Amino acid sequence: MATITVVGSGASGVHFALSALHKGHRVRMLDVGKTGPAAMRPEDSFTQLKENLANPIDYFLGSDFASVVYPDRSAEFYGFPPGKDYIFEPVPQYQIEAREFAPLSSFARGGLAEAWTGGSYPFNDAELSQFPFGYEDLAPFYEAIARRIGITGAKDDLADFIPMHDELTEPLRLDPHSVQLMRSYARRRDALREGQRCHMGHARLAVLTQDRDDRHACAYLGRCLWGCPISALYTPQVTLEECRRHPNFEYVPDVYVSHFTYGDDRRIESVRFEHLDGGEPETQAVEALVLAAGALASTRLYLESIYHATGRVERLTGLMDNRQILLPFVNLSRIGKPSDPDVYQYNQVALGLEEAAPEEYIHCLVTTLSTALIHPIVQGVPFDLRTSLRLFKNVHAALGLVNVNLHDRRRDESYVTLEPDGAGGRPRLVVAYSTPDGERPRLRTTIRRMKRALRTLGCIVPPGMAHVRPMGASVHYAGTLPMSEREQPRTVAPDCRSHDFENLYLVDGATFPFLPAKNITFTLMANAARVAETAF
Amino acid sequence: MTLPEREGRVFSRYLLGSVADGSILDTYAAAVGSGAAGACPEPGAFDRFLTWMARLNPVATRAVDVYTRYFFPAAPVRKRLILMLAILECHARPYAELDTVDGGGRGLIYFRIGRAALGSMILLVLAAVFLSPLRVVMGGRPTVRS
Q: Largest Cα–Cα distance of chain A, in whole Å?
A: 72
pLDDT along chain A (536 residues), means of 10: 94 98 98 94 95 94 90 67 91 95 96 96 98 98 98 97 97 96 98 98 98 95 93 97 98 98 96 94 97 98 97 97 96 93 94 98 93 89 95 94 97 97 86 96 98 98 90 96 96 98 97 98 98 97
pTM of this structure: 0.93
Residue B41 has pLDDT above 80, yes or no: no
Nearest neighbour of A68 by CB, restricted to B74, B82, B123: B82
What integer pLDDT is reported at residue B141 of this predicted model? 55
End-to-end CA distance of chain A: 9
Residue B33 has pLDDT above 90, yes or no: no
In this structure, are residues A514 and A505 in contact, taking their beta carbons and an 8 Å threshold? no
CB–CB of A64 and B36 under 8 A? yes
Residues 6+ apart with CB under 8 A from B18: B12
Chain B residues 80-119 within an 8 A CB cutoff of chain A: 81-83, 85-87, 89-92, 95, 98-102, 105-106, 109-110, 112-113, 116-117, 119
In this structure, are residues A103 and A472 in contact, taking their beta carbons and an 8 Å threshold? yes
What integer pLDDT is reported at residue B1 of this predicted model? 77
Nearest neighbour of A70 by CB, restricted to B37, B70, B120: B37
What integer pLDDT is reported at residue B38 of this predicted model? 63
Class of residue A291 by CB neighbours under 10 A (exposed 0-12, middle 13-18, buried 19+): buried
CA-CA distance, B48 to B3, in Å (whole number)? 13
Name the 3-class secondary structure at A186.
helix
What integer pLDDT is reported at residue B138 of this predicted model? 85
- Please list the residues that pair with A497 across neighbouring strands: A505
Q: What ipTM does this complex have?
A: 0.94
Nearest neighbour of B36 by CB, restricted to A65, A375, A392: A65
CB–CB of A397 and B117 under 8 A? no
Give residue A30's Cα distance to chain centre.
21
What integer pLDDT is reported at residue B42 of this predicted model? 52
Chain A residues closer than 8 Å to B112 by CB: 390, 394
By C-alpha distance, the chain A residue nearest B69 is A384
Nearest CA of chain A to the CA of B136: how many Å? 23
In this structure, are residues A151 and A205 in contact, taking their beta carbons and an 8 Å threshold? yes
Whether B13 has its CB under 8 Å from any CB of chain A: the answer is: no
CB atoms within 10 A of CB B27: 25
Chain B residues 116-145 within an 8 A CB cutoff of chain A: 116-117, 119-121, 123-124, 144-145
